[in-house]
Amino acid sequence: MPKDKPVIFVHGCFWHRHGCAMTITPKSRTEFWQKKFDANQARDVRALRALADLGWRTVVIWECSVPKA
């Protein structure tokens, strides 16, 4: 698989803001949390772009889509 250069991310819906039912926002310190979530999403975009620029193929799997064991 090295020639295909695959990268797989498994993102937590809470931390990376998927938008599903698991994407809750705490009711206290909302400004803190919003800044944290915004920074996480911006970092995700930068990472995906950087990997694409280097020729890596990426896929994101969301926590809510992974079957519970």
d(CA 28, CA 47): 29
The pLDDT tens digits for 3-60 are: 779 999 999 999 999 999 999 999 999 999 999 999 999 999 999 999 999 999 999 9
Give how far Cα 21 sits from Cα of 30, 48, 51, Å.
18, 24, 29
User: Rounded to two decimals, what is the model's pTM?
Assistant: 0.84
- pLDDT on residue 1: 62
- pLDDT on residue 3: 77
CATH code of residue 45 = 3.40.960.10
d(CA 49, CA 59): 12
Domain count, the chain: 1
Predicted confidence band of residue 68 (pLDDT cuts 50, 70, 90): confident
Kindly give the residue spans of alpha helices, DSSP state H, lying in 1-69: 13-16, 30-53
End-to-end Cα spacing for the chain? 27
Structural domain of residue 51, as residue ranges? 2-65
